[in-house]
Chain A
Amino acid sequence: DAGITQSPRHKVTETGTPVTLRCHQTENHRYMYWYRQDPGHGLRLIHYSYGVKDTDKGEVSDGYSVSRSKTEDFLLTLESATSSQTSVYFCAISEWAYEQYFGPGTRLTVT
C-alpha cells in the first residue's frame, strides 16, 4: 500500500469554524489531490498540487483552500465551515498522473 496518512480521521465541528485537514505521504510522489465523497456524486476533485507551492482548482473548489510547503504534506483548509461541507474527504497521490493512490479518508461533520 502507498504510504498515505490523513489526519484527523474523524472530526465534528461547528458552522463558521476553520478546519484544516492534513495529508501526509512517504512516497515522494509529485502529485497530490483532495477529493470529497458524497452520496450520489461519487468522488469530486477539490484541489490538486503538481509540486511544492504549485496548486490548481478542481471541480468543487469554492469554500476550500490548499497549501503545499513540503513534498510530503498537502493541507486542505475550510476557512469557515458550512453544513454543506459535511462529507468524507480523500487525499490521493500519484507520480504518474494516470495512477492515483488514495488515503484512508477523513469523515467531517459540520453541525
Chain B
Amino acid sequence: AQTVTQSQPEMSVQEAETVTLSCTYDTSESNYYLFWYKQPPSRQMILVIRQEAYKQQNATENRFSVNFQKAAKSFSLKISDSQLGDTAMYFCAFMIQGAQKLVFGQGTRLTINP
C-alpha cells in the first residue's frame, strides 16, 4: 500500500520569508503523480502544484515550487515571498498512474505572521 508522510504538523514563518514543507512517500510503482493541495480556513481544497514522476524537471507555479527527489521518495514544497493568504493546511498527495485514487498525507498547518 502506498503511504504519504508529512512530518511537520505545524509551521510558522514571517511574511515575505521562504518556507519549505516536507513530504515523503512510499511506493514500489515507477509511474505516478504527486500533488500539493492547500486548504484555507474556508475549507476549500485547492490544487497548488502537480508533478509527474517521469519528469525530472521540478514543477513551478509562480511563488510555489517543488523539490522532487525520486530516488529518495521526497517531494517538498517551497513557498517564496510568503503572503498572509498562504496561511492554510497543506496536504501532500500521491496517485499511481491509472489508479484513480489519491492518497493524502496528514497535512501541515502553515501560519504566515505579519
Q: What is A's interface to B at a CB cutoff of 8 Å?
A: 31, 33, 35, 40-45, 48, 50, 56, 58-59, 88, 90, 92, 97-102, 104-105
Contacts and interface: CB of A to CB of B under 8 A. Distances in A.
Given A44-B104, A98-B95, A104-B44, 12 more contacts: A42-B107, A43-B91, A45-B101, A45-B102, A50-B100, A59-B103, A92-B45, A97-B95, A97-B98, A97-B100, A100-B47, A105-B43
Contacts of A98: 33, 50, 95, 97
Given A40-B106, A41-B106, A48 B43 contact: no
Contact of A43 (B44, B50, B99, B104): B104
Interface in B14-67: 33, 43-47, 50
B47 A101 contact: yes
A29 to B, nearest CB: 12
7 contacts: A41-B106, A42-B93, A43-B45, A45-B101, A48-B101, A92-B45, A97-B95
Interface string B84-114: 0000000101010111111111110000000
Contacts of A58: 101
Contacts of A92: 45, 102
Contacts of B91: 42-43
A65 B69 CA distance: 38
